[in-house]
Structure 1
């Protein structure tokens, strides 16, 4: 079926299904009309994040900490080249329609209906173009990982934001685990002197190695170490990538990305007074709290320089790997 016909049919079916059945299938609390200024649009239904975010927000009780924000519209596309992503689009269309989400034919149509945006497209190659359209609207936007498929594309996202005078927020949910939150609030821990993190690190040939999934563990590393990394050295094997960074103050931080063994996230932080073990993935609620706070205030919760360094770190790893483990300095932009 051609994309235009498919989307037209999906929109017609979405409207009739919502009117005819979902009002009965879901409790009234799940079909509340969004408060003014709190309508969220999703770009990209090619990732599980889209369905998960819509579910959490649109089924939240009035007491939930999301201040009435709901996903009301979505544009499905989305990766066109990564089969594992675009094959999921039809299924996720049906799932988000079940939460009362309208399907739009293009991004411009979506922007007319919403107040803020979750850019969820799984394929980082599409982020510079899609983000630029949102930036022109001056609507606040959360851009899911990765910002691009390589550092050049990440720079393009920042350049577009600067051109249109817009801001954005981007982060992995692993930044907001209870252990990392506790670490930041516990003055008795003392200064972080080093850290080790790990996560799954599946590869996608169209993206730099750590961009596709290893970014989760790298985000954890920077969440506890902060910015200031100056150099990265790579160690690579078939089932593992190890990236060791040296910070300007002499501290070291290491990320281990795995493609075999147990599927888990975690690590350990080394402090002046004691150490702390980092917890595994705990869900999207912590991240969604920060997204809603950003939509409300416009204050980006992660320092811009820190997010930039995360991508510079991963690209420095790529270069070090290509040069058989030679240390590579981070590119500043």
Structure 2
């Protein structure tokens, strides 16, 4: 017979996130209402930690409707050192917040209802997302959707095949000031963000996507062509929309960089910023988990990544104008 002290130890360990389900005691996923158990794929990004802090708080905001992160599969970047080196520490961080660590995505899917695909390395997203699609679970994919336009298209094709709408967005879609913009009156915009480069990803897929997402949030879809100016410290992408509007993104790699922008409207200029944190994005993720309705269309997300790929092609062509249609056609072939 088990002693009282041994029983208390096992129950406390389960609540701390160790896997003791085989002994018949409560593990974290059994303490959360069915349907609201979130699983994380990828503990190689600070986003995983920040989301867990908010959702697993002692007194979480009622806006999150009882959703909690109950389990995580930690991998994850393998050869991007800055990301991979975070994993051991982040494992311990989430365990202290009641998250159970699993040995595979398959095990994670068995004890969770919805997924945050947080792996920092977009090269792994298609493979990891396919496991989630096949399990029939809703999924938020953090930026970047993938590390190539071809994989981005494949993910959305799989979304259609498995009839599971997928939501992806940067948290900069919800930057302060964005809610006050009447998008029907926007005649142009300039956005800016850090744009550190990562050799395994197209240039703007890594950090610069934040600025591009801000731009698209106010401009909407319909960009026809882009031209890119590249220097060691700065990139500027100039996009021309089909209706003649112009939107730009400035990505900086030197000095202290922030997020923001200027929106030009028929009523005057409006300033975006500063960064609003992760909570506005989380509120939209929870709404998506509840309803299955995505706040950003596949068409818009695909165009965002086409825009960035066209910018890379412009760089390869020494700053020539490149149409989005041409790079989309190439990636689709």
Report the TM-score, using the length of structure 1 for normalisation. Answer: 0.89
- Equivalent pair of 2:40/2:115 in contact (CA under 8 Å): yes
What corresponds to 1:163 in structure 2?
161
What corresponds to 1:322 in structure 2?
316
SS at 1:243 equivalent: strand
- Cα RMSD of the aligned pairs, angstroms, is 2.0
Say whether 1:153 aligns with 2:151: yes
- For residues 212-257 of structure 1, give each alpha carbon's deviation from its aligned partner in whole angstroms, at most 9, with x where no partner exists: 0000000000000000001000100001010000001000000000
4+ residue runs over 6 A deviation: none
What corresponds to 1:102 in structure 2?
100
Structure 2 gaps, min length 5: 1-8, 18-27
Say whether 1:57 aligns with 2:55: yes
What corresponds to 2:84 in structure 1?
86
CA distance in 1, matches of 2:322, 2:149: 14
1:293 Cα deviation after fit = 0.2
**Count of aligned pairs between the two proteins:** 309
What corresponds to 1:11 in structure 2?
none
Residues 232-271 of structure 1: pairs in structure 2 closer than 5 A: 232-271=226-265
What corresponds to 1:220 in structure 2?
214
- For residues 47-84 of structure 1, give each alpha carbon's deviation from its aligned partner in whole angstroms, at most 9, with x where no partner exists: 00001101110006254310000000000000111111
1:165 Cα deviation after fit = 2.1
SS at 1:49 equivalent: helix
What corresponds to 2:20 in structure 1?
none
CA distance in 2, matches of 1:16, 1:262: 48
CA distance in 2, matches of 1:54, 1:325: 42
- Equivalent pair of 1:175/1:219 in contact (CA under 8 Å): yes
1:183 Cα deviation after fit = 1.3
CA distance in 1, matches of 2:86, 2:12: 21
Residues 196-215 of structure 1: pairs in structure 2 closer than 5 A: 196-215=190-209
SS at 1:213 equivalent: helix
SS at 2:204 equivalent: coil
CA distance in 1, matches of 2:175, 2:62: 18
Say whether 1:183 aligns with 2:181: yes
What corresponds to 2:39 in structure 1?
41
SS at 1:45 equivalent: coil
1:109 Cα deviation after fit = 0.5
SS at 1:269 equivalent: strand
Say whether 1:192 aligns with 2:190: no
